[in-house]
């Protein structure tokens, strides 16, 4: 399990990326196609055409980390490229779902829907006794 600190942004390259690329090729992709600085410390993720292999590029201040993830029985639910959208931004929880092969878009929608309900909405209203009733 990849634990990404909460302050880091996660950028996903939608569609397929050539997985023959190493750190230099992927950082060049981040710079030229995603229009981001690969040394900014954020997380960049890429996937192959068959959706079975993903690479994650992270710069920690000293050098690059290149993480490789393969799925045996599932496929990554990778976002497709949309016109005008070069990059998709996720949070660390969504990245964890994505790299586990879970449909992160559906799960994100369910989580957002549940978070809209507040505690007061879900709790039945009970009469609260006043201070004088307790005497």
Q: Could you write out the DSSP letters of every residue in 71-112?
A: -SS----PPPPBTTB--EEE-HHHHHHHHTT--HHHHHHHHH
| Three-class secondary structure of residue 59 per DSSP | strand
As for how many domains the chain has, the answer is 1
> What is the tens place of the pLDDT at every residue in 30-53?
999 999 999 998 999 999 999 999
> Does residue 5 belong to any structural domain of this protein?
no
pTM of the shown model: 0.75
> Does residue 49 belong to any structural domain of this protein?
yes
> Does residue 61 belong to any structural domain of this protein?
yes
User: Distance from first CA to last CA of the chain, Å, rounded?
Assistant: 56
> Does residue 35 belong to any structural domain of this protein?
yes
> Does residue 130 belong to any structural domain of this protein?
no
Q: CA 93, CA 102: separation in Å to the nearest integer?
A: 11
Domain containing residue 74: 10-125
Q: pLDDT higher for 78 or 125?
A: 78
pLDDT category of residue 80 using cuts at 50, 70 and 90: confident
> What is the tens place of the pLDDT at every residue in 100-124?
888 877 776 666 554 444 444 554 5
């Amino acid at each position: 399990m990849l634990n990404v600190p909460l302050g880091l942004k996660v950028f996903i390259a939608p569609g397929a990326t050539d997985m023959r690329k190493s750190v230099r090729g992927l950082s060049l992709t981040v710079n030229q196609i995603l229009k981001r600085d690969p040394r900014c410390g954020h997380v960049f993720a890429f996937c192959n055409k068959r959706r079975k292999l993903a690479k994650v590029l992270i710069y920690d201040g000293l050098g690059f980390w290149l993480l490789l993830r393969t799925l045996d029985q599932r496929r990554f639910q990778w976002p497709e490229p949309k016109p005008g959208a070069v990059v998709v931004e996720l949070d660390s929880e969504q990245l964890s779902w994505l790299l586990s092969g879970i449909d992160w878009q559906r799960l994100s929608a369910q989580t957002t829907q549940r978070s809209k309900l507040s505690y007061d909405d879900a709790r039945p209203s009970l009469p609260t006794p006043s201070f004088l009733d307790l005497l």
